[in-house]
Amino acid sequence: MVPTSHLLAFVVASVVLTAVPGPSVLFVIGRSLALGRRAGLLSVVGNTLGLLPLVVAVALGVGAVVQRSVVVFTALKLAGAVYLVYLGVQAFRHRHHGAGDAVDERPRSAWRIVREGFVVGVSNPKAVVFLAAVLPQFAEPAAGAVAAQVVVLGLVFMAVALLSDGLWAIVAGTARGWLGGSPRRLARMQAGGGLMMIGLGGSLALTGQKA
Query: Would you state the pLDDT for residue 46?
Result: 95
> Under a CB-based contact definition with an 8 Å cutoff, are residues 143 and 2 in contact?
yes
Question: Distance between alpha carbon 47 and the CA centroid of its chain, in Å?
Answer: 4
> Under a CB-based contact definition with an 8 Å cutoff, are residues 32 and 173 in contact?
yes
| pTM of this prediction exceeds 0.75 | no
Q: What is the pLDDT of residues 69-97, one digit of tens each?
A: 566 666 666 776 776 777 777 666 655 55
Q: What is the pLDDT of residues 32-82, one digit of tens each?
A: 887 888 999 999 999 999 999 989 888 887 655 555 656 666 666 677 677
Q: What is the pLDDT of residues 89-121, one digit of tens each?
A: 766 665 555 444 433 444 568 899 999 899 888
Work out the angle at residue 198's Cα, subtended by the Cα atoms of residues 86 and 192, and round it to the nearest 5 degrees.
Answer: 115
| Angle between helices 51-59 and 146-179 in degrees, nearest 10 | 160
How far apart are alpha carbons 57 and 128 in whole angstroms?
Answer: 8
Reading phi first (left if > 0) and then psi (alpha if -120 to 50, else beta), residue 36 is in left
How far apart are alpha carbons 46 and 55 in whole angstroms?
Answer: 15
> Under a CB-based contact definition with an 8 Å cutoff, are residues 128 and 53 in contact?
no
Query: Would you state the pLDDT for residue 44?
Result: 95
Q: What is residue 124's three-state secondary structure?
A: coil
